[in-house]
Amino acid sequence: MSTDKTGNEAAMTPLFIVGVPRSGTTLVRSLMLSLDNAYLPPDEFQLVPHVVNGTHSPSQFLDLVTTSNFADHMRRRKIWPTDGTLKRVSTSASGPLAFKALVCEIAKLDRATELKYWGDKTPENIFHLEQIFKTWPDAKIIHVLRDPRSTVLSMKKSWGRSIIRGSVIWRDAIRTMRHHKSDLNSNQIYEIRYESLTQKPEEEMRALADWLGLSFDESRLLDFQTEERWSGMDNVGIQQRGTDWESDTLKKDVTSIERVCFDEMKIANYLPRYATDVRRPGASALTFAKLGDAWRVLNVYAKERGWPRAITYKVRQWRASKPR
pLDDT digits (tens, 9 = 90+) for 165-215: 999 999 999 999 998 888 766 799 999 999 999 999 999 999 999 999 999
Average pLDDT over residues 40-59: 88
Q: How far is CA 205 from CA 29, 72, 239, 269, 322, in A?
A: 11, 30, 15, 21, 34
| Residue 37: per-residue pLDDT | 95
| Residue 238: per-residue pLDDT | 65
Neighbours of 50 (CB within 10 A): 23
| Residue 324: per-residue pLDDT | 52
Sign of the CA dihedral running 143, 149, 150, 151? positive
- Residue 315 CA to residue 85 CA, distance in Å, equals 27
Of all residues in the chain, the percent with pLDDT exceeding 70 is 88
* Across 66-75, 91-100, 234-243, least confident range: 234-243
CB 18 within 8 A of CB 123: yes
Q: How far is CA 149 from CA 38, 159, 163, 196, 261, in A?
A: 31, 15, 9, 16, 9
| Residue 71: per-residue pLDDT | 97
pLDDT tens, residue by residue, 238-297: 655 556 688 767 899 999 999 999 999 999 999 999 999 999 999 999 999 989 988 988
pLDDT exceeds 80 at position 224: no
Closest CA to 188 of 16, 32, 19: 16
| Residue 18: per-residue pLDDT | 98
| Residue 183: per-residue pLDDT | 75
Identify which has the larger pLDDT, 75 or 301: 75
| Residue 133: per-residue pLDDT | 94
Neighbours of 271 (CB within 10 A): 8
| Residue 186: per-residue pLDDT | 78
CB 212 within 8 A of CB 38: yes
- Residue 56 CA to residue 90 CA, distance in Å, equals 9
